[in-house]
């Protein structure tokens, strides 16, 4: 892999050559079985929710990229991030998948309690230890919470015994990646004996990938791959320069998987999945706090009044509407196709929220298409420790981070910039100290 990484510039030449010829190597995905029952190979298959689809991948036409270049190595990387949620509802999942679906994030304070760490490499909410995972998905592995039914390395494989396998009889080394590695599982093969097969004009088998539609899946999903000279590519042996193989990025012909529930997709309501901060965690900054609502489908940010934000009083608990503050907040809908869609609610200036109060964010039906919900959050400046009171212990949490300059600010400490000036200084301790001590302010509803 080091060799090919060092030759990325060859990929540029390949692109030029491809352009001049108008045809590149192709990688084709075909559905060949549904629920293990063989079907006529097709690039467009229709299944039912819960069905599995066996997809086979074929390579052809590499002579167009580098004539008489034997196929020494190839690699295929599934683009799970783009593929698994590409239908109208539900998901495709790799066979053997039992993983808490990861959420995308830019900072850890966007992540739910179950997966509280925003992993910078993947931009997804994950776990650091198994203790932080919920009981349904109790094991933390690869930064994701894994359930008891998960079987890794099951979805992707290469059947090396097939006579149409690209490296059949060449003592090839094949390898696959776990399905939950960045949701980009993949596999590849290197021919150890000889330099690989020449292009004889037909297709050669390159691997198998099995996906299953979730029970709530509906609509047309597109299974795609990540095309680049280090994700999905061919290495073609160059007899004139044996140390530097030619890299070709194939043209991919994607596979569509239509999941039809009674012929049409109902339009189910969007449902709130989780939120941050959860009970026990307060909004701690004077302003610019983020409340993150996580949904199962993309949302359009509501206008003021479509959802309400009210101080949580006994009356509000009893269903009597209080003054609505929602027009003072900023709403941002996020749907980056990485994790579940989210709505971020931010208090842009000081004074909207009152220290040591609870607030209720509620959709009583005004936000069309979204199932009614309410979420209660506590606003308590400086309450870092999660015990519901402000004490010297909370001052200590800030003090431990003083001083932190702009370059030291990160996801782990951003909340401790209580006065929202981009650094953590004694001024933040001073702000917290203004509220020390603050007694407990319990959730007011029975
Ligand atoms: Ca505290
Ligand atoms: Ca500060």
- CATH 2.60.40.680 positions along the chain are 2-97+150-259
Ligand 2 midpoint to CA 276 (Å): 22
CA 312 to chain centre: 33
Higher-pLDDT residue of 397 and 262 is 397
pTM of this structure? 0.58
Express each pLDDT in 73-93 by its tens digit.
999 999 887 898 888 888 899
Average pLDDT value for residue range 416-434: 97
Q: Which ligand has the shortest distance to the CA of 426?
A: 2
pLDDT at 325 over 90: yes
- pLDDT score recorded for residue 180: 58
- pLDDT score recorded for residue 150: 87
Ligand 2 midpoint to CA 130 (Å): 33
Ligand 1 midpoint to CA 328 (Å): 28
- pLDDT score recorded for residue 53: 98
188: phi > 0 → left, psi -120 to 50 → alpha, else beta; which?
beta
First to last CA, the chain: 61
Instruction: Give the H or E element holding residue 26.
Output: strand 26-34
Ligand 2 midpoint to CA 54 (Å): 54
Ligand 2 midpoint to CA 403 (Å): 10
Q: Which ligand has the shortest distance to the CA of 424?
A: 2
Q: Which ligand has the shortest distance to the CA of 356?
A: 1
- pLDDT score recorded for residue 9: 28
Ligand 2 midpoint to CA 416 (Å): 7
- pLDDT score recorded for residue 15: 37
Q: Which ligand has the shortest distance to the CA of 285?
A: 2
**Spatial separation of the C-alpha atoms in residues 251 and 172, rounded to whole Å:** 24
- pLDDT score recorded for residue 131: 87
Express each pLDDT in 307-324 by its tens digit.
999 999 999 999 898 999
pLDDT at 20 over 80: no
Higher-pLDDT residue of 18 and 438 is 438
**Spatial separation of the C-alpha atoms in residues 385 and 208, rounded to whole Å:** 49
Candidates 363, 359, 260; CA nearest to 45 is 260
Q: Which ligand has the shortest distance to the CA of 415?
A: 2
Q: How do the residues of the chain divide into helix, strand and coil, expressed in percent and rounded to 5?
A: 15, 35, 55
* Cis, peptide link before residue 437, omega less than 30° from 0: yes
Question: Measured between alpha carbons, how far is residue 391 from residues 10, 148, 440 in Å?
Answer: 61, 41, 11
- pLDDT score recorded for residue 261: 64
Q: Which ligand has the shortest distance to the CA of 382?
A: 1
Average pLDDT value for residue range 332-340: 81
Average pLDDT value for residue range 405-421: 93
Ligand 1 midpoint to CA 286 (Å): 16
Ligand 1 midpoint to CA 62 (Å): 64
Ligand 2 midpoint to CA 356 (Å): 20
- pLDDT score recorded for residue 177: 72
Beta bridge partners of 78: 225
Q: How confident is the model at residue 52 (pLDDT cuts 50, 70, 90)?
A: very high
- CATH 2.60.40.1220 positions along the chain are 272-434
Q: Which ligand has the shortest distance to the CA of 282?
A: 1
Q: Structure tokens of 214?
A: 């979730």
Q: Structure tokens of 295?
A: 């949904």
**Spatial separation of the C-alpha atoms in residues 350 and 129, rounded to whole Å:** 36
Express each pLDDT in 201-247 by its tens digit.
999 999 999 999 998 888 899 999 999 999 999 999 999 998 899 99
Q: Which ligand has the shortest distance to the CA of 389?
A: 1
Ligand 1 midpoint to CA 405 (Å): 24
Q: Structure tokens of 279?
A: 């009970």
Ligand 2 midpoint to CA 251 (Å): 51
pLDDT at 337 over 80: no
Question: Measured between alpha carbons, how far is residue 125 from residues 85, 226, 283 in Å?
Answer: 17, 21, 19
Task: Indicate the CATH number for domain 272-434.
Answer: 2.60.40.1220
Average pLDDT value for residue range 254-273: 79
**Spatial separation of the C-alpha atoms in residues 237 and 227, rounded to whole Å:** 20
- Of 26-30, 104-108, 382-386, the range with the lowest mean pLDDT is 104-108
Q: In this prediction, what percent of the chain has a pLDDT beyond 90?
A: 59
Ligand 2 midpoint to CA 382 (Å): 12
Ligand 2 midpoint to CA 58 (Å): 57
- pLDDT score recorded for residue 135: 87
Express each pLDDT in 265-282 by its tens digit.
666 688 898 898 988 899
- pLDDT score recorded for residue 123: 72
Higher-pLDDT residue of 3 and 409 is 409
Ligand 2 midpoint to CA 396 (Å): 15
What are the two backbone dihedrals, phi and then psi, of residue 393, each rounded to the nearest 5 degrees?
Answer: -60, -35
Q: How confident is the model at residue 21 (pLDDT cuts 50, 70, 90)?
A: very low
Ligand 1 midpoint to CA 439 (Å): 9
In CATH, 2-97+150-259 is 2.60.40.680: yes
């Amino acid at each position: 892999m080091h060799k090919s990484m060092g030759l990325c510039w060859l990929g540029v030449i390949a692109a030029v050559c491809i352009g001049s010829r108008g045809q590149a190597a192709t990688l084709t995905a075909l559905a060949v079985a549904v629920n293990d029952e063989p079907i006529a190979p097709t690039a467009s298959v229709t299944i039912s929710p819960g069905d599995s689809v066996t997809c086979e991948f074929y390579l052809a036409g590499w002579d167009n990229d580098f004539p008489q270049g034997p196929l020494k190595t190839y690699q295929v990387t599934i683009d799970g991030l783009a593929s698994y949620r590409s239908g109208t509802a539900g998901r495709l999942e790799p066979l053997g998948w039992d993983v808490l679906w990861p959420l995308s994030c830019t900072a850890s304070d966007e992540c739910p309690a179950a997966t509280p760490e925003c992993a910078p490499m993947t931009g997804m909410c994950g776990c650091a230890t198994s203790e932080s995972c919920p009981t349904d998905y109790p094991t933390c592995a690869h930064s994701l919470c894994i359930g008891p039914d998960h079987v890794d390395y099951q979805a992707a494989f290469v059947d090396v015994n097939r006579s149409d396998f690209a490296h059949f009889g060449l003592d090839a080394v094949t390898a696959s990646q776990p399905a939950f590695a960045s949701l980009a599982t993949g596999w590849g093969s290197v021919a150890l004996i000889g330099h690989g097969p020449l292009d004889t004009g037909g297709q050669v088998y390159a691997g198998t990938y099995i996906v299953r539609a979730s029970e709530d899946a509906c609509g047309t999903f597109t299974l795609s791959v990540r095309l680049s000279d280090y994700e999905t590519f061919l290495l073609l042996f160059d007899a004139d320069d044996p140390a530097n193989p030619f890299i070709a990025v194939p043209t991919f012909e994607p596979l569509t998987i239509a999941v039809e529930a009674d012929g049409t997709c109902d339009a189910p309501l969007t449902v709130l999945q989780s939120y941050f901060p959860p009970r026990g965690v307060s909004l701690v900054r004077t302003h610019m706090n983020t409340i993150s609502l996580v949904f199962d489908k993309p949302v359009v940010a509501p206008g003021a009044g479509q959802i309400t934000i009210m101080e949580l009083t006994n009356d509000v608990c009893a269903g009597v509407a209080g003054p609505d503050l929602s027009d003072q907040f900023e709403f941002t809908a996020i749907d980056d196709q990485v994790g579940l869609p989210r709505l971020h609610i931010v208090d842009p200036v000081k004074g909207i929220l009152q220290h040591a109060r609870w607030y209720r964010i509620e959709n009583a039906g005004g936000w069309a298409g979204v199932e009614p919900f309410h979420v209660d959050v506590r606003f308590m400046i400086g309450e870092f420790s999660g015990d519901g009171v402000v004490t010297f212990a909370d001052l200590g949490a800030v003090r431990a981070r003083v001083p932190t300059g702009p370059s030291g600010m990160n996801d782990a400490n951003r909340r401790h910039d209580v006065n929202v000036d981009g650094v953590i200084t004694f001024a933040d301790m001073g702000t917290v100290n203004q509220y020390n001590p603050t007694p407990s302010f319990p959730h007011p509803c029975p």
